[in-house]
Structure 1
Amino acid sequence: MELFLIGMPGSGKSTAAKEIASLMQISFYDTDELIKKKYKMSIPGIFKEFGEKEFRKYEETVLNELIIKDSFIAATGGGLPCFNDNMNKMNDTGITIYLKTSIEILFQRLRKSINRPLLQGKSDSELFDYLQKTIKSREPYYSQANYIIDADKTLNEIIKSEPFNL
């Protein structure tokens, strides 16, 4: 079984994926971590040196390498489903699960984040506006997921949801 967790930064994809991988005894991957390992640079470093367009190419490369593996759960970067036909690739390969999180919860989780290049240097009002705009632009991709889970819930509630039922 190949599972892809998608959603906004701060939705809890990595945290949930690690727990689910442990409970299901399958491999865990984080596409941002795979990018850092493959390209030997931090995500903020890639953005700073090469820009978002190049980063999206790196995401696509890592996804193409990931989808040939078996029995895993992957936490994807927030924008990964929205570029280079990546959402269709994930849906064709396995099961996609959108961790849908309210803007209020995302705002609280992300307002103190320092390692997210698209959020750096934003005031609270700029962050809130960015989240509104980004959710609106990404929702058409995220809504193509096989499952949509309310990620305002606790981790325990999420892992008991379909399709996990753990």
Structure 2
Amino acid sequence: MKIILIGYMGSGKSTIGKNVSKMLNFDFIDLDDYIQEKEQLTIPQIFDRKGEIYFRKKEHVYLKEVLERTDVVVSLGGGTPCYGSNMAAVLSAKDAHSVYLKSSIPNLVQRLLPERLGRPLIAHITTEEDLTEFVGKHLFERSYYYSQCTKTLVTDGKTVSELTEEIVRLF
């Protein structure tokens, strides 16, 4: 079985994914970390040196690699489901269950503002107002893809352990 965690950056995919994998005794793969390991560059370095198109092509290749595994929890990058045929690959993967971790715009902004410099897509944003506008626009654009997940969990007002237990109970 594979559990694929999907959601906007800052929704808790990696943190929750690590906990779910421990509870189920599955491997955990953060796709961004996997890409960085394979490319021997950080995500910001890949964007700066090779561009977003290169990154998205490699992201698809590595996504297909991790979807071949079994007994794994995979955390996707926030944009991963929205490019190429990535969402179709997730939905058609054997024994895969996709979970959308749905967070409100205010919660995402609160989490992302202090860590924005490490995130290439929002590193240039300096104010809470601008980040709120950016996140809202992106969520609107990405909701079509996120809503295709087999399950949706609202994260607002829940602890990491509560969300972890919810996911484990689903499967």
Compute the TM-score of the two structures, normalised by the length of structure 1: 0.96
Partner of 1:122: 125
- In the alignment, the residues of structure 1 paired with residue 58 and residue 107 of structure 2 have an alpha-carbon distance, to the nearest angstrom, of 29
Partner of 1:53: 53
Runs of 4+ in 1 over 6 A off after TM superposition: none
Q: Does structure 1 retain, via aligned residues, the 8 Å contact 2:23–2:168?
A: no
- In the alignment, the residues of structure 2 paired with residue 40 and residue 160 of structure 1 have an alpha-carbon distance, to the nearest angstrom, of 34
Q: Which moved more, 1:7-16 or 1:113-122?
A: 113-122
Displacement of 1:54: 1.4
Structure 2 residue 76 is matched with structure 1 residue 71: no
- In the alignment, the residues of structure 1 paired with residue 150 and residue 88 of structure 2 have an alpha-carbon distance, to the nearest angstrom, of 11
Q: Deviations over 1:98-143 (max 9, x none)?
A: 0000000000000011210001020222211110110000000000
Partner of 1:98: 100
- In the alignment, the residues of structure 1 paired with residue 36 and residue 161 of structure 2 have an alpha-carbon distance, to the nearest angstrom, of 29
Structure 1: any 5+ residue segments left out of the alignment? none
Determine which of 144, 148, 158 is the counterpart of 1:144.
Answer: 148
RMSD: 1.1
- In the alignment, the residues of structure 2 paired with residue 61 and residue 147 of structure 1 have an alpha-carbon distance, to the nearest angstrom, of 25
- In the alignment, the residues of structure 1 paired with residue 151 and residue 91 of structure 2 have an alpha-carbon distance, to the nearest angstrom, of 11
- Identity across matched positions, percent: 36
Structure 2: any 5+ residue segments left out of the alignment? none
- In the alignment, the residues of structure 2 paired with residue 112 and residue 55 of structure 1 have an alpha-carbon distance, to the nearest angstrom, of 25
Q: Does structure 1 retain, via aligned residues, the 8 Å contact 2:5–2:101?
A: yes
Higher helix share: 2
